[in-house]
Structure 1
Amino acid sequence: MIKSKQDYLYYLKADRKALNIPDKPNWIKEIILPNYIWVFQKRLRKLEYLKNCRNDLIGKITYVILKVRFRKLGIRLGFSIPENIFGPGLSIAHYGTIVVNSKTKVGKNCRIHVCTNIGASGGNPKAPVIGDNVYIAPGVKIYGDIEIGNNIAIAPNSSVNKTFLEPNVLIAGSPAKIIKKIDISKLIPNSTE
């Protein structure tokens, strides 16, 4: 969670690296053909910074204005992602439906694809806790009071409703089960840092 200006800058740098955005962007290209996922993630991190660190009047007003712009862009892209969920190094791979429960916690270097739903289940308000270096393929559903460990890949269209803590594995199926050992660095290049 972002707790200072330094954390905010670190999260932005990690997200930029995860999305393969150059440190010095081409401003003309950014104006003509902006990367809306990067715009969304920058707004998300700015909201987190304002919510957690800026309790002054200007910070609160800026938060409200930015929240409106953030929600509009989220609706346009199909993202329903609240603040303070994802650690640094978030990579949203494509536009499309991504719904995340506000009680979910996700570690660093998460790569998430379209048609993903992460949330609570059966009236239980508790949501999943997901570790570091987790690859979430398209169509994955993760729900319930469960935990996903570090260095795990979840195959497309899987339904995960139980805890998996063994690292360096691929889980797949409905309901999900461990399929094989994998090297997560092939799916998330910045996972070794």
Structure 2
Amino acid sequence: MIRSKKDYNKYISQDKRALGIKSKGFGSKIMTYLSPNYIWQFQKTMRKLEYYNNCKNSGIYKLYVAYLKYKFKKISVKLGFSIPINVFGPGLSIVHYGTIVINRNTKVGSNCRIHACVNIGASGGEKGAPQIGDNVYIAPGAKIYGDIKIVNNIAIGANAVVNKSCEQENVALAGVPAKPIGSVDIKKIIKHI
């Protein structure tokens, strides 16, 4: 969670690296203007809202936080994301536009790579939501729900339904319900770590 300006800069830097955003030169500024990267805009807005909401949410800043919430909601609807703030650690990589629904009680560590049509939530109206570790790849259509824990260095396969905790690192989960199907080298899937 972002608690300082230093944290904010770290999150932005790692998100940028995870998304493969290159340094701004004149040519890239023209390309950004002609073909904006809306996922990068979403992530920058989310991180800025997290910073101001967590660190500067008093006095005149309350108006700016309200503006950032409006801007964040607008781009979230445009992209089909229902992602609350303070859920993802640094190094987030959202790969495609499309429906992504995350419960506000979910916590995800650093270097998460997530695809479209993913749903991470509570089970049956309960408050407990998944707690997911670092370096986790979540393939398209995966459903992760319940008061469960997923440890570090896990790959979750396409359309997998994860409703039980996974305490074993460096494995791939797949199936309905999901279970370990083999070992995985997460650095081959999440290239930026």
Aligned residues: 191
Percent identical among aligned pairs is 59
Shift of 1:28: 1.2
Taking only aligned residues, the RMSD between alpha carbons, in angstroms, comes to 0.8
Partner of residue 148, structure 1: 150
User: With structure 2 as the length reference, what TM-score do the two structures score?
Assistant: 0.97
SS in 2 for 1:190: coil
User: With structure 1 as the length reference, what TM-score do the two structures score?
Assistant: 0.97
Partner of residue 74, structure 1: 76
Residue from 58, 65, 68 that aligns with 2:67: 65
Shift of 1:56: 3.1
Partner of residue 115, structure 2: 113
CA contact (8 A) 2:139 2:158 kept: yes
SS in 2 for 1:27: helix
Q: How does 1:134-173 map to 2 (within 5 A)?
A: 134-173=136-175
Amino acid at match of 1:15: D
Partner of residue 93, structure 1: 95
SS in 1 for 2:31: helix
Residue from 159, 176, 179 that aligns with 2:178: 176
Structure 2 unmatched runs, 5+: none
Question: Aligned partners of 2:80 and 2:162: how far apart in 1?
Answer: 22
Asked if 1:103 corresponds to 2:105, the answer is: yes
Structure 1 unmatched runs, 5+: none
Residue deviations 1:52-83 (CA, integer Å, cap 9, x gap): 11033232111101111111110110000000
Question: Aligned partners of 1:164 and 1:99: how far apart in 2?
Answer: 21
Residue deviations 1:19-57 (CA, integer Å, cap 9, x gap): 000122511111111100000000000000001110332
